[in-house]
Amino acid sequence: VRLYGRPRPMIKNYFAAFTLIFIILLPSCVTPRKTRYLQEPDKYVPAYPEYHTPADYQVMKSDELNIRVITLDPESSKIFNASTSESSSTLSSAYKGLDTYTVYEDGTIDFPYLGTIPVAGKTTRQIKKEIESQLRDYVKDCSVEVRLVNSFFNLLTENSASRHALTKEKMTIFEALAVGGDLSKYADRQHVKVLRQLPSGQTEIKEFDIRSKDILGSEYYYIQPNDIIYVKAFKGQFFRVDSFLTAIGITSTTISFGVLIWSIVNLCKGAAGGTAQ
């Protein structure tokens, strides 16, 4: 009776250990619920209010603008577009400022013949119209192209950091993540953060759940130049458990190994006791 009765406490201990380890590993499981995009909002996936299409980017201090004047007059083209003129490379380098302009701390740029032009807080379209209007006194039938030179965004994840160019005027958060190679299965999609500098100079932090389908019409859907997208790893990723079956396998293996060690230790103790007698 004692021989058959002794394993029962061992079975109970084995079951208790299995349950404890499984409970510890369970939160670490990477399920489709944690990684799938465009899920319907429910008690686990938040809903976001519908948001209007964001306004165009407003130029800020320290931004760099590339301004090109298009005209049929060759002389005027040389004056305003030094980099495309037939002058030497040294001369083009010296007149680089005629093409690229850094926005000063007071929010202005210095443009040939026009002097100081306030640009901070304006879109590139507004700057284009203003320069075209003022240039009509000097150049007839001209057109102006204004582009933002520093049109980049930064992506920081749990295993990489990268900087990418904005390939279109309005890039979505999904397009930005695709450019960066998408997120790993261990990225915390519930707490994606976007750090955005405001025209006032302050930095705004937006946090949202990218799994929600509602972000398609929300303020979080489009990114802007100089945005920093930060995605950390979710809690428990240390264990790297991909599924429930993996968690069960790890638990069983761990306990089986522990039981093996316990049996070897008891066997050694028994052998030592027999030798002593």
Residues facing 196 on adjacent strands: 204
Task: Report the alpha-carbon distance of residue 218 to residue 51 in Å, rounded.
Answer: 4
- Taking residues 141-169, report their average pLDDT: 91
How many residues in total does the chain contain?
277
pTM tops 0.85 = no
Task: Report the alpha-carbon distance of residue 170 to residue 199 in Å, rounded.
Answer: 18
pLDDT for position 79: 79
Closest CA to 201 of 81, 120, 113: 120
pLDDT for position 67: 93
- Taking residues 200-220, report their average pLDDT: 92
pLDDT for position 172: 94
Evaluated on CA atoms 103, 107, 110, 114, the torsion sign reads: positive
Position 253, amino acid? T
- With contact defined as beta carbons under 8 Å apart, do 219 and 54 qualify? yes
CA 258 to chain CA centroid, nearest Å: 42
Residue 106 neighbours by CB under 8 Å, 6+ apart = 120
- With contact defined as beta carbons under 8 Å apart, do 259 and 16 qualify? no
For the cut 70, the answer to whether the pLDDT of residue 115 exceeds it is: yes
Residues facing 212 on adjacent strands: 39
What's the pLDDT band for 237 if we cut at 50, 70, 90? low
Extract the tokens encoding 41. Answer: 């909002």
What's the pLDDT band for 165 if we cut at 50, 70, 90? very high
What's the pLDDT band for 8 if we cut at 50, 70, 90? low
pLDDT for position 82: 66
What's the pLDDT band for 18 if we cut at 50, 70, 90? very low
pLDDT for position 147: 93
Extract the tokens encoding 164. Answer: 């990418």
What's the pLDDT band for 90 if we cut at 50, 70, 90? very low
Higher pLDDT, 94 or 38: 38
What's the pLDDT band for 160 if we cut at 50, 70, 90? confident
What's the pLDDT band for 77 if we cut at 50, 70, 90? confident
What's the pLDDT band for 95 if we cut at 50, 70, 90? very low
Q: Where are the beta strands (DSSP E) in the chain?
A: 64-70, 100-102, 108-111, 115-118, 143-148, 152-156, 161-165, 171-172, 192-197, 203-208, 222-223, 228-230
- Taking residues 248-271, report their average pLDDT: 58
Classify residue 171 by burial, with Cβ atoms within 10 Å: 0-12, 13-18, 19+.
Answer: buried
